Amino acid sequence: MRGLIRNPVALALVALALVILLGATVSIVPETRQAVIVRFGEPVRLINRYHPNEKFGNTGAGIALRVPFAEQIVWIDKRIQSVEMERQQVLSTDQLRLQVDAFARYRITDPLRMYISAGTEERVKDALRPILGSALRNELGKRPFAALLSPERGQVMSNIEAGLNRVARQYGVEVIDVRIKRTDLPDGTPLQSAFQRMRTARQQEALTIRAQGEKQAQIIRAEADAAAAQVYAASFGKDADFYDFYRAMQAYRRTFNPQASGQTTVILSPDNEFLREFRGR
Amino acid sequence: MNKKTPSPVRRFLSHLSKPVLAMAQGPWGGKPDDDSGEKPQGPSSGGPRNPWTQPPRGGGPRPGGGPERPSLFDDLLRRGREGFGGGGGPGPGGGFPGAQARGLWPIGLAIVAILWVVLTSFHRIGPQERGVVLQLGKYSRTLQPGIGLTLPAPLERVEMVDVEEIRTIDVGSVGQGAENLVLTGDQNIIDLAYSVRWNIRDADLYKFQLADPDATIREVAETAMRSVVATVSLTDALGAGRTVIEQQVEERMQQILDSYRGGVRVQGVAIKQADPPEAVNDAFKEVSASQQAAQTYINEARAYAQQLNARAQGEAAAFDKVYEQYRLAPEVTRRRMYYETMEAVLADTDKTVVEAGNVVPYLPLPEVKSKERAATPAAGANEGGR
């Protein structure tokens, strides 16, 4: 023993062997992962399995022991994962198309089942993706277009979730929710016709506004005319005869204005009122 | 160094000076003067070694193995080991705990162990951080800001999480960038750009509950925004309803994230831009142009009304004044006005006075210069004007 301790190389080798043994026996299970212990290919027990309403700190995380070299540990993520669906084109009952982008959040609640049926997390995701797509298309295809824009109102999303959960349970997975991220009109005719509709609506609105403006303007003018006429009538109506005379004087001044274009030639007769005094009496 | 029988102090000093001397050799070994015979056989004697010469074959086992030159560290070790081994016996005063054992190893290990324990048990947590303590993988507690004490490293690990920092997610881009088209409730389309601010509320939930929390929050933001915009009309989204939309999106996001138990708080949503899409922008500009035009029409009409009103009042007032005067002396005023007007009017005109009677009036019309209209034809001359 002393010789062993004296010899540093041997010491190092022994230490290394101990470390390897330790690594094969003891594992630290983090809060974010659950584990399936597999002995010679067959799953024997689960560690840190997911339970709903479990608080962190009281889970099965911590130290896990296993038989070294005979048992393998398979890690499975315990957290909420997400699977995204590719863009799908959905046809509504009134024959209108919509491009939908959706995602689903799921969690592996039965790791044993997941290990047996799918093996790895990647395969679970690949299995869920097409099912999500078809469930979405089926459910949304039963609705009119207006309902597609707001599928949250009503049962649509929960129906999709229920349908997806039925399949997901076989993989040991629980689907938490399904949500639509984007809805777009498909490029090409639907999008362009929507734009055209917006354009014509705007043009109509523009014309209406203009017409309203003109109508208002005309009313204002008419009112102004009426008010002016009223003012005139109130004033000139006091003596219609005198107004006639007064206005005629104004008119003569303006009409026979020497600065105005045209020259005026007046031919007077001595009988003219103007020349009355001219004749003498 | 000479091997005398030194006093304890001198022995102490000599032990200490060995490493110092070793360093004085320079990092490539070799000694300026060597007379103790402790030097290993390998390196050439005398003078500092040339680093480009071939390293000599090793003398004695070297811990590192391989064609390594006997480095300073090796020298130190060997010196220490042999010095202590050779010294044996009662060590000098002062604590050398491992003096009876093999050498430097236990002391070094002890020092390292103490340092390790001290460094990994005390944690300084800043005011905006929280420390999530993992006890062999299991979550044990969250440390508040200040100095936290935990078990040393392999038993308990602390992960710092910045909970006060407000992170921002930007969706869409302002200006000419890519469009982020969203459908509104009345099946119109707008181009939205907005940003979401959030921070971490529960450090343990944030770390353990969601895989990829940042991407999750972004997707939740897009979902919430889309579903809220699909309930408003185009005019609301473009104008007055923005604050309502922002509020509703914030509420919905918080609701969804809480249903995941994500431990995240949404601080706010800000819509940076809500515009009609590029393709129909002109039509929208047309609308505002027509609004301007309508306003212009109305303004013009008002101006006309003002003008008319002023003129009417002016004329009416003038007439009233004259009428007042007239009423005081009607006939005189009338005469006066008549004469004044006629005077002014006939002053600058061409006048011809034709006497009625036996003279046949001959009016040389071509000579009468009248440009556009004949002022008064011959018939008018006989009747006379009033």
Q: How does pLDDT run across B195-247, given as a tens digit for each residue?
A: 999 999 988 888 888 888 888 999 999 999 998 998 888 888 888 888 999 99
Spell out which residues of chain A touch residue B305, defining contact as CB-CB under 8 Å: 220-221, 223-224, 227
pLDDT at B101 over 70: no
* CA–CA distance, A257 with B345 (Å, rounded to integer): 7
Q: Quick check: A1 pLDDT over 50?
A: yes
Q: B88: alpha, beta or left, given left = phi > 0 and alpha = psi -120 to 50?
A: left
Note the pLDDT of residue B378: 44
Inter-residue contact A268 to B385 (CB < 8 Å): yes
The residue with tokens 């006497």 is: B355
Is 80 exceeded by the pLDDT of residue A204? Answer: yes
Asked if A28's CB is within 8 angstroms of B136's CB, the reply is yes
How many angstroms separate the CA of residue B83 from the nearest CA in chain A? 17
- The band of B76, judged by pLDDT with boundaries at 50, 70 and 90, is low
**Cβ contacts of residue A18 below 8 Å, gap of 6+?**
none
A90 beta partners:
A98
CB contact under 8 A, B297 and A217: yes
Of A30, A81, A203, the CB nearest to B211: A81
Confidence of residue B86 (pLDDT cuts 50, 70, 90): very low
Higher pLDDT residue, B334 or B6? B334
Task: Tell me if A56 and B259 make a contact (CB, 8 A cut-off).
Answer: no
Highest mean pLDDT among A2-6, B169-173, B219-223: B219-223
pLDDT given at position B23: 54
Average pLDDT of the residues of chain B: 76
Can you tell me the mean pLDDT for A197-210?
92
pLDDT confidence bin for B102, thresholds 50/70/90: low
CA angle A7, A10, A11 (to 5 degrees): 85
CA angle B105, B108, B110 (to 5 degrees): 105
- Name A180's bridge partners: A102
Supply the angle between the helices B330-347 and A240-255 in degrees, to the nearest 10: 10
Does residue A221 carry a pLDDT above 70? yes
Report the pLDDT value the prediction gives residue A147, as an integer from 0 to 100. 79
- pLDDT at residue B303, as a whole number: 95
* Residue B149 to residue B152: CA distance in whole angstroms: 9
B306 contacts A225 by C-beta, under 8 angstroms: no
pLDDT value of residue B40: 44
CA distance B381 to chain A (A): 5
Q: How confident is the prediction for chain A on average, in pLDDT?
A: 85
Per-residue pLDDT, B214: 87
Query: Span B292-313, mean pLDDT?
Result: 93
How far is the alpha carbon of B30 from chain A, nearest alpha carbon, in Å? 26
> Average pLDDT, stretch A88-107?
88
Mean pLDDT of B3-15: 58
pLDDT class for B91, splitting at 50, 70, 90? very low
Judge: B189–A29 Cβ closer than 8 Å, yes or no: no
pLDDT score, position A61: 80
Instruction: Render pLDDT for B109-147 as a digit per residue (tens, 0 to 9).
Output: 999 989 988 888 888 888 998 888 888 888 888 888 888
What's the rounded mean pLDDT across residues B165-191? 84
Higher pLDDT, B101 or B66: B101
**pLDDT for position B42:** 43
Secondary structure (3-state) at B123? strand
Tell me, what amino acid is at A273?
Answer: E
| Radius of gyration for chain A, computed over Cα atoms and rounded to the nearest angstrom | 48
Cβ–Cβ of A203/B369 closer than 8 Å? Answer: no
Residue B261, burial from CB neighbour count under 10 angstroms (0-12, 13-18, 19+) = middle
Please tell me which residue, B19 or A12, carries the higher pLDDT value.
Answer: A12
Q: Answer yes or no: do A213 and B294 touch at CB < 8 A.
A: yes
Q: What is the DSSP string of chain A?
A: -HHHHH-HHHHHHHHHHHHHHHHHHEEEE-TTEEEEEEETTEEEEEES---TTPPTTSSS-EEEE--TTTEEEEEEE-SBEEEEPPPEEEE-TTS-EEEEEEEEEEEE--HHHHHHHTSSHHHHHHHHHHHHHHHHHHHHTTS-HHHHH-TTSSSHHHHHHHHHHHHHGGGTEEEEEEEEEEEEPPTTHHHHHHHHHHHHHHHHHHHHHHHHHHHHHHHHHHHHHHHHHHHHHHHHTT-HHHHHHHHHHHHHHHHT-TTSSS--EEEE-TTSGGGHHHH--
CA angle in degrees (0–180, nearest 5) for A103-A108-A110: 145
Q: Which residues of A touch B135 (CB under 8 A)?
A: 62
Half-sphere exposure of B169 (CA within 13 A, CB side): 18
The secondary structure element, H or E, covering residue B139 is strand B138-143
Chain A nearest CA to B52, separation (Å): 31
Is B371 within 8 Å of A265 when comparing Cβ atoms? no
Residue B139's DSSP bridge partners are B134
pLDDT value at B382 more than 50: no
- A187 CA: distance to closest CA in chain B (Å): 12
Tokens of residue B372, six digits: 């556009």
Are A224 and B304 within 8 A, CB to CB?
Answer: yes
pLDDT digits (tens, 9 = 90+) for A262-276: 667 777 777 777 777
Which of B288, B297, B326, B350 has the highest number of chain A CBs within 10 A, making it the mutation to test binding with A? B297
A18 CB within 8 Å of a chain B CB = no
Q: Do the Cβ atoms of B233 and B185 come closer than 8 Å?
A: yes
Taking CA–CA distances from B204, the nearest residue in chain A reads A56
Instruction: Give the model's pLDDT for residue B370.
Output: 53
**Helices B8-24, B72-87: inter-axial angle, 10-degree rounding:** 160
- Provide the percentage of residues in chain B whose pLDDT is more than 70: 65
For chain B, how many residues are written? 386
Report the pLDDT averaged over residues B282-300.
91
Facing A231 at nearest CB: one of B63, B234, B316: B316
Neighbours of B351 (CB within 10 A): 12
- The predicted pLDDT at position B168 comes to 92
- Which chain A residue has its CA at the smallest distance from B365's CA? A265
Taking CB atoms and an 8 Å limit, are A206 and B296 in contact across chains?
A: no
Model confidence at A162: pLDDT above 70: yes
Paired tokens of B300: 């013009």
